[in-house]
Amino acid sequence: MLMGRAGDVYGQKKIFIAGIVLFTVASMAGGLAPSLLILIVFRALQGIGAAMSTVTAFAIFIRIFPKDPKETRRSGF
């Protein structure tokens, strides 16, 4: 819910891209982690990045493909 609200406030595209970047960097860093504790920290960051990108991706899809065909005509598609 927090990332959904952040997407509404700051822009869904910005939050989506930030989530993908965070997930990617945390994945690389987790792969290079020298200890279990550092691996757990980077896995937590991966989870945050995944939450950011997943929630905003659904919101972006809903905005692009509305349920009602009448809404599609109004949006210009």
Query: pLDDT by residue (tens digit) across 4-62?
Result: 777 778 888 999 999 999 999 999 999 999 999 999 999 999 999 999 999 888 888 88
**pLDDT the model gives residue 70:** 65
pLDDT of residue 76: 53
Question: Which residue type is seen at 10?
Answer: Y
* Residue 72: pLDDT over 90: no
Domain coordinates in residue numbering, the chain: 2-75
- Contact of 38 with 12, CB cutoff 8 Å: no
